[in-house]
Amino acid sequence: MDRLAGALRGARRRLCGAVVRAILVLAGAGALLLPWPAAAQQAPGGAGAVRIARGRFTAVAYPSEVPLVRAMLADAVRRDSFPGLPRPRARVLLAVAPDSRRFRAWVGPAAPEWGAAIAFPALQRIVMQGRSAGSGAGDPLVVLRHELAHLALHEYLGDLPPRWFDEGYASYAAGEWGRDEALATSLALLVRGMPTLDSLDVGFGAGAAVAEESYALAFRAVQDLAALDPERGLALFFQYWKETGRFERAVRLAYGVTADGFEREWQRRTRRRFGALALFANLSLAVGVFLVVFLPLWIGRRRRDRARLEALREADRADEREARESALALILGGDAPATLAPREVDGAEPGR
């Protein structure tokens, strides 16, 4: 019965994953990994473009991007291995666009607006923005390694990895530890609770904020999975996944836990670690907003109140001075009452 229940859960997971991936394809939300029809893209390059080859990498770029391209290729050759995977052998074409117009033309219309680089595993091709990319694009060396990890993973496992694992592994291989910042400030973990792993796939095609949170959760899941075997990391897991073709079976063989058990533990640990941080960060933000917006108003109000109180006190002091001056003027004016005149004592004459 346990085997039957596990098989049913596995079939349900695979069916849900297939449905989600199909929806992403139809909606264009899988833009960072899915190759578009050739008609939707322009071939990278054009008049004035140059080719630079290093190792198994060939880059197509314009002269303005050549210094950046040389630095990226040197780093790619130096670190051409990825956690848990055999050393990749496939040749890679890297196209570096000089501006956003050509980047969009090279990747096709389905790419998200916030994307800075796109990997096409079926073509072993990467398209990324060059020096014109905004500050949000990140370190180009890290971005390139992220996309190369996509290609290396698909070279070894084909289409076996679901989207959440694909993105989580690429972030893990690129060492994108800053992903946790998106979770440390997200109240969604407290309000909505932790999502399932399969449900993360939809978030990658949403807006930049939701996508960033999905990337962070996927990164955390792959990191937690690798941590189950401190010595071999993901190596044995990848071997079993390739042999069996099943994520659930590979997790059980490599780590001795069920996929559902791992998912529940990932949800519990992530919520416990980042839920409190998110609450603290948002409370701190609220306090900061209060101090920035309302503290000056409160200080101004206190100053006005003190000014009005001082004015009232000054008015009281002026009234008191006026009263004293009036009384003194009355006395000095000779209108003293009769009771103040000298009087006789025991028949004696005054002055004696």
Instruction: Give the residue among 198, 40, 204 at the shortest CA–CA distance from 123.
Output: 40
Average pLDDT of span 130-154: 89
Q: Are 203 and 213 in contact (CB under 8 A)?
A: yes
pLDDT of 127 strictly over 90: yes
Q: Higher-confidence residue: 194 or 239?
A: 239
Q: Residues with Cβ < 8 Å from 13, sequence gap 6 or more?
A: 198, 247, 248, 259
Average pLDDT of span 163-176: 94
DSSP label at residue 161 = S
Instruction: Give the residue among 261, 165, 264 at the shortest CA–CA distance from 215.
Output: 165
H-helix or E-strand spanning residue 148: helix 140-157
Give the angle subtended at the CA of 285 by the CAs of 282 and 287, to the nearest 5°.
Answer: 110
Q: Higher-confidence residue: 338 or 31?
A: 338
- Looking at residue 43, its pLDDT comes to 60
The percent of residues above 70 in pLDDT, for the chain, comes to: 68
Q: Residues with Cβ < 8 Å from 211, sequence gap 6 or more?
A: 112, 114, 203, 204, 205
> Hey, what domains does the chain have and what are their CATH numbers?
16-285 (1.10.390)
Confidence of residue 45 (pLDDT cuts 50, 70, 90): low
pLDDT of 213 strictly over 70: yes
Give the tokens for residue 135.
């500050």
CA atoms of 14 and 25, how far apart (whole Å): 16
